[in-house]
Amino acid sequence: ILTNAHVIGEYKFIIARDSNGTFYDLDISHIDKANDLAILQAAKITTGLPIVIDDDLKGAKVYAIGYPQPSIQGGESKITDGIVSSMSGLRNDPRWYQITNPIQAGNSGGPLVNEAGSVVGVVVATINAAKFLSITGDVPQNVNFAIKPEFAISAMAQVGLKPLTTTVPKKNPLKYVDENTVLIFSRPEP
């Protein structure tokens, strides 16, 4: 399971719940703090989504999948749509895409998928609206970020894992995506 290092934090006991409601204990296999990525492993989770590197994503439709505020919004995954608005992140950071998908706390570490249901990034952050407003005098809109897949692939290689490369059925890619996402708990819910 791929997620953000900041989602895991300093916690050592991590569990995940799949779409069937089954809980799994997870082991932390690798933390890449520089790129804010974490690799978690569970003995019983065997399915996942393919990762695709696409150097031509600017303007492409993408979907962010996550579990924002599950104690308020419920435990079902939420899917938001948007586009890749820039091939670089804050201050031209080449590790990130800028995306227009609405995200909030709980989307971190979730997959950013293309219309075929393949992972094209890992949702990582939203811009600090208050700070942006104080610096520019303008309120940011849909300024969010995802880590590019090549950094996820590199983190996976650190523990000897290769990403899935099979294609996703195109009949209903979002249904397939939702069935293969998991909610990661690293701390008690508020």
27 is catalytic: no
Instruction: Give the DSSP letter of residue 151.
Output: H
- 32, 77, 86, 108: which is the annotated catalytic residue? 108
Which among 125, 124, 141 has a CA at the least distance from the CA of 133?
Answer: 141
Q: How far apart are CA 132 and CA 125, in angstroms?
A: 14
Write down the residue that tokens 């290092």 correspond to: 5
Catalytic site includes residue 108: yes
Residue 29 a catalytic site member = no
Say which of 30, 36, 77, 118 is annotated catalytic.
Answer: 36
User: How many CB atoms neighbour CB 124 within 10 A?
Assistant: 27
Per the document, the length of the chain is 190
81-119 core/surface letters (b: 16 or more CB in 10 A; e: else): ebbbebeebeeeeebbbbbbbbbeebbbbbbbbbeebbb
The angle at the Cα of 124, spanning 123 to 125, to the nearest 5 degrees, equals 115
Indicate the pairing of strand 61-66 with strand 2-3. unpaired
Q: Which residues are catalytic?
A: 6, 36, 108
